[in-house]
Structures are given as C-alpha cells and as structure tokens.
Amino acid sequence: MLQFYRMGLQNFQSVQTRMISTVALVILVGIFAMSPQQLLSKSDVLGIQQSKNTLPPKIEPIITFSEILEKPQEIPVKHPDVSDVSVYAESAIVIDEKTLTPLFAKNPLLLQYPASTTKLATALIALQTYELSQTLTVPSNIREQSDGSSAQLLPMDVLTVKDLIYALLVGSANDAAYTLAINDPSGGYNNFISNMNQLAKNLNLSSTHFTNPIGYDESTHVTSAFDLAVLTQFALKEPFIRTIVDQTSYTFTSVSNPSKTYTVTTTNQLLGTVEGVTGVKTGWTPLAQGLLIVSVTRNDHTIIIVIANSPYRENDAKDLIEWTYRSYVWE
C-alpha cells in the first residue's frame, strides 16, 4: 500500500530543485508587481497573485523512466482559434494529469483556505501511518472536536482504517478525520499534523501549510489552487484513493457493534452527472467559500481541475471541463 507513496516521493525528489527555482521566481515577480495594499489578504496572510492570463510553471510528472520508454507521453496542444473561458472562482487551474501541463490558470498561486480539500492530505498520511485492516477507537469527545460535516460516528466505537478513509473522502466526515489524526501511534494529533506538513514540503507545495486534519479556517491553514492540483495528482497515483473518490456512497459496519452501520454519500454533485468525472473532493467554509477538485477522463485523457473561492463551484468546473476538451488535442 505504501509502495506508491515511497516511490512517488523518490521520483519527485529528483525534480525538487527545478520546481523550487521556477516557483520561487514566479512568486518573487508576483510580489514585486503588487502594491502594498495587495500584500495583505485573508486574515493578514500574504496572498501571492499571478496574472489571470499567465500559466504557472510546468512541473515534472511522477512517472518512472521505464514508463517513458514504454509509451511516449502525449502532449496537450491548444487550438489557436478557441476563445477564452471565464470563471467566478477567485482561483482556478486545469492540468493534464500525466504531464502536469497547465491548461488554464486564474490566480493559481493566490493563497486560499483549503476547507475540506485538506482531507486529501489527511488520507495520504493515514495510509502512511496505518494498515487498512487496523482498527481505531473513536474518541469519547468526538462531538466537541469535529462539528460540521460528519458520519455521526459514535463515541468509543471501533472502526477499521479503511472505513474511516472512505468516510473521510466520500462523505467528507470531520469525525473520521479527527479519529485518524488523534490515534497516531507515534505522537498523536500533533505528530499527524506534522506529517501532513512534511508531505507538503516533500511535494514542494510552497504555498501550503496545515494546522488541522479537517480543513477548519485558521489563519495559517492555507494552500493554493496550484498546490492542490499537484497534491491531487500525487494522491491519484494510489489506486485505493482513486477508487474511493469515484464512489457516490459507502456503507460500513462497526467492528465493536456489528449491528451498527453507517452510510455516507458524496458531496461531489458532478459524480454520476457529468461525463467522465471520477472524483475528487469538495470543500466549503465561511472564509474559504466553495472549493472543488475534479478529475475527468475523456478519450483516455485525464485532467485535474481545482476551483477555489467560488460561489458557483460546480458551474465553474463544468465550464472548464467542456472548454478544456474543446480547446485541446493530445498529440
């Protein structure tokens, strides 16, 4: 289960220097182009703004040399006569999953609150920390520690890690996220959060910092559309996660009380309604507003879309899906 994680990070390490240099250059240019008034945003957190019409630097995909030899990568090429598209989101990005080529970008480096898209990182660290068959006990104070979106887990119930991750990603269950974090055997909650930040560092997510596993608004719990796209591409390398985020519902049973079952349903309205959509994660908080990460496969070509801070996240995503497949061919 962890082979993808270790191999993926090793492959990513080989391009870290190049990624840091290119992203840092874009950030410095953006900062010097901003006025002093623009340097404060979102609870006095520095917002890094990039031109609406400027794509972020391309970064290398997580692939092995043998994969390159087996099949040459098809590169997306834009039709010159296709008009631009606009979205309501404050930040948005579309990337080609295989090559990580940016296909559309609007303020992709601007700092945003990630809301429940945080749970992608939570799931990855849970896979790093536990075996899927392990059982964890729901904390006695779970109601106080995880308000909002919930699977209604009973205090002191015993559940498998597998079922908790399903509840986390399908139902966006805050109680599942807290249960996974608080049970970390190497240092509890704080160690789990530290590992989430180490993951962000390893993936060169330079705009990302986590302070909780759920996605609650906190001034230093931030990310960017660009970082979320990279995180998603990495997460989807794991078949288990790829399977989960494509589910519209999931039912599971308590280990300690077999008569007790839980059912969670997806918060992703595009699953099952828009052609080719296979995931991934929604998010909403008062400060973050609407977030949506979507993976779409059509004609064997997969794209990842990130919508951040949008009043119409589903409409934005649908518009970008149709525009992208109308605007690009893979050669």
Per the structure, the complete domain to which residue 211 belongs is given by 3-330
Is residue 204 helix, strand or coil? coil
Cβ–Cβ under 8 Å, residues 144 and 237:
no
Q: How many domains does the chain have?
A: 1
Of 19-28, 64-73, 291-300, highest mean pLDDT: 291-300
Confidence band for 72, pLDDT divided at 50, 70 and 90 = low
Digit-coded pLDDT (tens) for 156-195 = 999 999 999 999 999 999 999 999 999 999 999 999 999 9
Which of 146, 149, 150, 172 is catalytic? The answer is 172
Residue 53 has a pLDDT of 38
281 is in an annotated binding site: yes
Mean pLDDT of 96-107: 96
- Residues 6+ positions from 31 with CB-CB distance below 8 Å: 39, 48
Q: Is the pLDDT of residue 24 over 80?
A: no
Q: DSSP of 164-199, one letter per residue?
A: HHHHHHHS--HHHHHHHHHT-TTTHHHHHHHHHHHH
Residue 267 has a pLDDT of 95
pLDDT above 90 covers a percentage of the chain that reads 74
Q: Is the pLDDT of residue 117 over 90?
A: yes
Q: Is the pLDDT of residue 50 over 90?
A: no
H helices within the chain, ranges in order?
3-13, 16-32, 65-70, 119-129, 142-145, 161-170, 174-182, 188-202, 225-235, 239-244, 313-327
Which of 98, 119, 162, 318 is catalytic? The answer is 119
Active site residue 327: no
DSSP state of 301: E
Residue 226 has a pLDDT of 98
Active site residue 172: yes
Which of 116, 149, 150, 310 is catalytic? The answer is 116
Active site residue 119: yes
The CATH number covering residue 192 comes to 3.40.710.10
Residue 70 has a pLDDT of 53
> Which one is predicted more confidently, 36 or 274?
274
Backbone angles phi, psi at 26, to 5 degrees: -65, -40
